[in-house]
Every structure is written in C-alpha cells, then in structure tokens.
Structure 1
C-alpha cells in the first residue's frame, strides 16, 4: 500500500511532471516504461502520483477557465516559425508548467483557524479583500488557495462580506451544508445541529439552491425540512454593533441569546414565564442593565443563586 503521508515538494513536482507527460499526445512507449520504473521504485513515488491525480481532479475546471493568470499567458506564448512537432512540445511544456505551479500552490495552501471566546467578537480581513466578522464563541477554519476560498464553520456565528471573484468561489461549509457566494454579505449562525443562513445583501446558493437578500433558511435537528422565511436584516446583524434587538420575542429565546454572551444560565420557576414576550434593544455586554430592564418590563424578579452563574426568574404580582 502507498504511504499515507503527504509527499515532499520535490517528489510531488516529479509526479506532476509525469502526470502531464502521460496525458500528452507526445508521450512515447519509452516514456511510459520510464514512468513505470519510477512509479514502482518505492511507495513514496506511488503516494506522490496519487496526490498528483487528486490535484488534477480538484483543478479540473482549469480546462474551461480562460481567465487564470499564468495559464492564459502560457497558452498565448506561441513560438513563431517552428515545425509542428516542436510547436506542440513548446505549448505542452508551457501549459503543463503553469498547471504544475498552480497544482503545487493549491496543494500547499495553509489552513488557518480563528476563534472567539464567550462574549468576544473579532473582525478578520482575508488576503482576497473579503472580511469575516466573528461573533461570540465562534470557531472557523480558512483555506485560501489559488483556485478556491474555503471556510469551515464549526460553531458560532459570523457575517461574511465577500469580495466576489468569478473563477475562485467563496464557499462556507458546515456539517451538512455548502453555502456558495454569489457576490454577497450573509450571516450564518450554527449552534449544535441548528443552522440559520441569512442573506444581508445579494444572494447565496445553499447546496445549489438560491437564497436572496432579506430571507433566511433555517435548518433544525427537530425537523426534516428547512424553513424559509423573510427576516429583518437589521435585527439579524445588530450584534455587529453590540446590540440585540427583540420584537415580541419569547423570553425563552431572549435568555438563550443572553447565554451566548455571558457565563450565566437562566431558570424559570414557572414554564409559563418562558412564553412571555419582550421587545426592545439591549447591549450585548451590559447584563445588569438588561436584568433591570426585564424586571421593569415584565412582572418577574431575577435572583442570582449562590453559584454566581445561575439566574432564577420568578413571577411576581405587581401592585397597582
């Protein structure tokens, strides 16, 4: 069996050279015999060639893409006044060299991990001009290569402000979904198995299905079907400005949102309290002000238990 580890740079370049030669009409029986000797020499050569084949399958769209720098130049550098055989070899050499360089850049692209702590927010500026605004308790991975921009969101929430490029897609992956940019700004919130994708500007494709500005697609572990709904984009994106906007929101959802920003846990003494609704705009950082406002807006009292993190919400009868 071939070794499972990645090959070194020099060995991979040898494998790519062999791969392109074998695809060429100029490949001879002598070349194939030399390749077989090279391939069978050891497992490292076989592993390198397997990587070269995988790289080619990943970069297959190069054959239909006229706008990639390097490859386009190689196709245009046609030698003049040369016999057909020499001309063919020259074109093959130039194009395969460009593809080999692109293949190596694709293979060696680094994956960078970013994360935020509870209550922390962070703005990431990417090399392509895109920006990712990360909300509290978020972890994601970024891999920008020559041919693709791939983001993997493990958990949390982020707004993606994408610099659109025709030939290099921007794709966000979650456990189950693939969200592809169509020149846009969008918000993704992933908490356990629940995922919400909201388009703030432009549009995205979710597993090939278009989602337009002002709409949210929600996926829940409690349902087999996604829920499509119009939303208030200002409310969705308010966290970027340190605000939470609630509009007739059940108290259970309000407290769950506060738990994302603070090391606390809310308990209702009466389940009916959780169905009370609250409206207003609150700061994400000022928990005491929120609790004070809550006691003024609803007939409830908030008590902190001895552990310092559990907040008990009890109903009270307000005097007239």
Structure 2
C-alpha cells in the first residue's frame, strides 16, 4: 500500500533517476553477486534521494505489472529487500568518484526494455499517493482552489485578473491577507488590466511576483523548472532580499532559495501553449517527452539513453499531440511499442 504519511516527493535529479533505473534492472538480472548487493546498499545509503528514486522505480514497476501482462510481457517481481543472493562473483563497476555503480547493460532485451521504461517513468515530481500514470487526482490537487487535469486548459477571471491555466496546474488563493494567488504546480499566465489598481501578487516557490497595471506574465513551476517570464508590461520579482524588475521579453529562473538567472528569451516559445502549440528548439528528446507527457494521458517513456539525448526542433499541435510519436519513429528510426493505458515505449 502507498505510504500516505508523505504528501509530496521532492523532484529527483535526472542522474539519480538514471542510477535507480540501472540498479532496478541490475537487481532483476540473472547474475547478481554479493558484491553487487553490497554496492547497491552503499549507493542507497549515500543520499536519501537514492532510496526515494529506487522506491519510485519499484512502485511504478509493480503498478504497471497488470499492464505489462496485458500487453503480452512477463511482469517480474522486484526484490522485496535489498539482500540479493550471490550468483556470480564479478565485482561491480566503479566510476571516477570511487562510488560503485551497476554494470552497464550490453544489450536491450525485452525484459530490459520494459524494465528501463518502467523505471524511467518513475522520474519527475511524483506525489506519494498519486497514480503512477496520473489516473487519479494527486493529493496536492485536492487542496487547490483551481486546478486543471491532464491536457486541460482553462481561462477564468480571479480578483479582477485574467488567468489562463495550462495543463496539470494548481492554484490557491493567498492565505496571508494579500490580493493574489499561489501557484504550487504547473503553468499559468496572469494579465492585470491597464486600468486596474496595484496590489496583486503571484506566489511561487517562496518568491513573489508583483504585476504592474497592464502586465502579463507567464509563471511555470514544473518539478525543478521554476521561471517567471514577462510577456507584456512590467513586473517585479522578489526572492528574499533581492528584487528584479522584469520588462517585456525578460525571464527569471529560480533555483532553491535564490534567483538563479535573468535574461531575455524568445517569448513566442513561452506563449505557444496558450495558442495550442508546444515549441522546442534544439532540446534533448528527454526534455521534450517530459513536457509532452504533461499534456497526454498515459505516458511516453524512452528506454534508450542514446535516443533520449537526440536533439529536437519541432512545433507540435496540442490537438494532435500523438503525431510526435510518429515524428520520433520516422526521424530517428525508434522502435514504438504501444501498451494498455496509453503507455508508449520508445527504444
């Protein structure tokens, strides 16, 4: 049963997710030594995020078991504990940092293909009591005043401000007696009319965004990707003791407790989702898939690390988002496996 004590699992770095995926597959292998088991325990104990990433991979593997069986694949059980009986005596590989790593996979059999996909699908910011494929509302969404589902976009007026909500977005009314909203997850645009009075603010990740009359800003908070883009007029971003003035075309990125960077950006890409498009300019396929997964039910999963690094330049209609799958197949010769629940594996 899912642990209901933890409300939100922190976003996990991509390298930690990849290591957890490698360990999951390694511990499923036929030749696992005592040295492998010891190395796994050391890796898991190095960082709490390692244990969290591995738990996510195991949970998703288990949740997808019925789907894998329905698709004609054999769903195997993950190890119940971290104790693996010695079968072979080969030592685990090590990296330059001296930490043990699971041995690299030399071929992608069907079991490894599915295993890699399931482990990869555990990536991103998951709620502990969420459906692995987004099939039921997340805990955080239940406490939101305004929310959108997968693929849903909404436009509404709140406190005299026009708000456009993107997919999988959660907004709450500010609870500290200020006129404004809190964005806890997703992406939204806020437009304050030119005739409106000042005093409206947007709160995101401990920062405050104050809109000038006539301003329109796009605020994104997806995992560790937190940014504020001024699309029209002017706004001020406050984080701790630092205040940044944002003019049209300027974007600020937040990283933890600080404003990490401020610079000009092509606003047509930021604004594209409002007009029914997603635009990607020389981005890794892994990032593109992460964004597309926010807009479609089920999940697209890349099970080939080389494929995940291919660069993508594309403009994709939200009305025909699955044409992206055909694009990857035709452009990169990727293998496409469709499974129940709108799960698509690319390898």
Q: Does 1:226 align with 2:260?
A: yes
State the TM-score, normalizing by the size of structure 2: 0.52
Q: CA RMSD in A?
A: 2.7
Return the alpha-carbon distance in structure 1 between the equivalents of residues 315 and 323 of structure 2: 11
The equivalences for 1:1-320 within 5 A come to 113-128=145-160, 130-142=161-173, 149-164=179-194, 168-183=198-213, 184-207=215-238, 208-221=243-256, 226-305=260-339, 307-314=340-347
Instruction: Give structure 2 stretches of 5+ with no counterpart.
Output: 1-143
Shift of 1:233: 0.7
Instruction: Give structure 1 stretches of 5+ with no counterpart.
Output: 1-111, 315-320
CA spacing shift, 1:193–1:248, aligned 2, 3 Å:
closer
User: 1:72 is matched with which residue?
Assistant: none
Return the alpha-carbon distance in structure 2 between the equivalents of residues 296 and 249 of structure 1: 18
Return the alpha-carbon distance in structure 1 between the equivalents of residues 259 and 159 of structure 2: 37
Return the alpha-carbon distance in structure 2 between the equivalents of residues 228 and 185 of structure 1: 17
Q: Which protein, 1 or 2, shows the higher relative CO under an 8 Å CA cutoff with sep ≥ 6?
A: 2
Q: Which of the pair has more CA radius of gyration? A: 1
Offset from partner CA, 1:50-86 (integer Å, 9 cap, x none): xxxxxxxxxxxxxxxxxxxxxxxxxxxxxxxxxxxxx
Partner of 1:249, secondary structure, is strand
CA spacing shift, 1:192–1:293, aligned 2, 3 Å:
closer
Offset from partner CA, 1:208-265 (integer Å, 9 cap, x none): 32122112111235x9651223211111111111111112121011100111111233
CA spacing shift, 1:163–1:149, aligned 2, 3 Å:
farther
Alignment coverage as a number of residue pairs:
200
